[in-house]
Amino acid sequence: MNSHSVTPPDHLSRAQEYALAVTVAVVTANAYYIHPIIGEVAASFGVSDARIGIVPALNQLALALGILLLLPLGDRYSNKRLCIAFVSAQCLFMLAMALAEGFIAFTLASTLLGFVTIAPYLIPAFASKRVAPERLGQVTALLTAGVIFGILVARVGAGVVAEHFGWRTVYWCAFALMAAVTLFLPIAMRTEASADKRPQSTYQALIASVFTLALQNRDMMISAVIQGLNFAAFTASWLALALHLTGPDLGYGVDTVGYLAGIAAISIVTTPRLGRWADSIGARRARLIASVLQFAGIALMYPLGWSVWTIIVPLTITNMVGPTIDVTGRMTFLSLEPEIRTRLTTSYIVMMFIGGALGSILGTSIFDLAGWAGTCVLLAVMSASVVALSLLAERNWRRSGATAKI
């Protein structure tokens, strides 16, 4: 028998790999259900467009805090046990959101849900230790596809379900999915041997080193700020767009917002191809080009933002190149020493979700204050900042005399 045909006892089977990708999709989706239905939720609780932005903002801030404080635990304790514990906690908080009768209770449950959403970042580490080296890229891509698919299904599904059955049904469906994942996760993560290693550093030292390494890696910090602004623009645009399309000026249903969110499916096809393109020309140059294209797409949002058909053009452009800005940003520091990549990634992700929180607050507040025109100005400023910082990073890299493409 060919030795390659037998899965080693401490390696994941193909079925387990796909089960983990589904898990990543389900747990990632939780933060995005509110995007198309935010107007419905606001009306149900009797709060303003500006105030409802607090919900996704606190969720994103709590997620950033959870990543900072909880993700380093993955270097000290079993990734499997941590994932099961955190996913179980997510399930309970999702139930609390579905049952919440008041705005404060709903917001609190959403915030706590964000704090324990660590599994999408622990599962890749768990899987990387339990696959053959020659399949690491393939499995990592599978889990990344799970993230994109989860966001896509959440935003499309939430709009359609809420239009026909009410927004609260969205969260009951999400709870059912989380309950199923919680029950099957121990099987999906079962292996006969443990590959987890325990570092000698204390938890406190690991947390402190996250800040130390961030300060020592200026290029990574620039990438983190760029992605923070990029994610802020993404969040602000979709929250404001949901309010714009379902408002009195246009009067579309929340299902229309969900259908438009399906445009994000294009990134599943384009992101891997653009990633290979970035390999060929260099991460920083590719990011600069992508950021300019994104600015062009955002510039079209106001003139084309008054019809569900014309808005497809700028949304297609931004969904094609937006993820590439993230991918190229990660490329700038994932070529560094393996032992510091996780902690650099922690800083990067924390900055990204701080940006998401900023976008949630500004997107809804500016729309409440100045409508779609004000929102488009906000997006243009954010996107222009991404272009400027990408240009600065690219020029600094060339001036440093670096010869490597990454």
pLDDT, tens only, 102-128: 999 999 999 999 999 988 888 876 776
Whether residue 160 has pLDDT greater than 90: no
Architecture in CATH for domain 14-188? Up-down Bundle (1.20)
Q: How confident is residue 339, by pLDDT bands cut at 50, 70 and 90?
A: low
Whether residue 391 has pLDDT greater than 70: yes
Q: How confident is residue 191, by pLDDT bands cut at 50, 70 and 90?
A: low
The conformation of residue 134, written as its DSSP 8-state character, comes to: G
Residue pair 242/35 in contact by the 8 Å Cβ criterion: yes
Angle, CA of 367, 373 and 376, to the nearest 5°: 85
Helix (H, G, I), strand (E, B) or coil at 181: helix
pTM for the structure as a whole = 0.76
CATH class of the domain whose range is 202-406: mainly alpha
Q: What pLDDT is stored for residue 198 in this prediction?
A: 55
CA distance 99 to 252: 27
Q: Where are the alpha helices (DSSP H) in 200-282?
A: 203-216, 218-246, 254-261, 266-281
The predicted-structure confidence for 212-254, as pLDDT tens digits, reads as follows 888 888 888 999 999 999 999 998 998 899 889 888 888 888 7
Whether residue 57 has pLDDT greater than 50: yes
The predicted-structure confidence for 271-283, as pLDDT tens digits, reads as follows 777 777 877 788 8
CA distance 396 to 308: 41
Tell me where in the chain the CATH 1.20.1250.20 domain(s) lie.
14-188, 202-406
Q: What pLDDT is stored for residue 130 in this prediction?
A: 75
Q: Which residue has the tokens 């602004």?
A: 229
**pLDDT, greater one: 107 or 402:** 107
Residue pair 56/38 in contact by the 8 Å Cβ criterion: yes
Q: Cβ atoms within 10 A of the Cβ of 274, count?
A: 21
Q: How confident is residue 401, by pLDDT bands cut at 50, 70 and 90?
A: low
**Both tokens of residue 196?**
């987890």
Q: What pLDDT is stored for residue 304 in this prediction?
A: 93
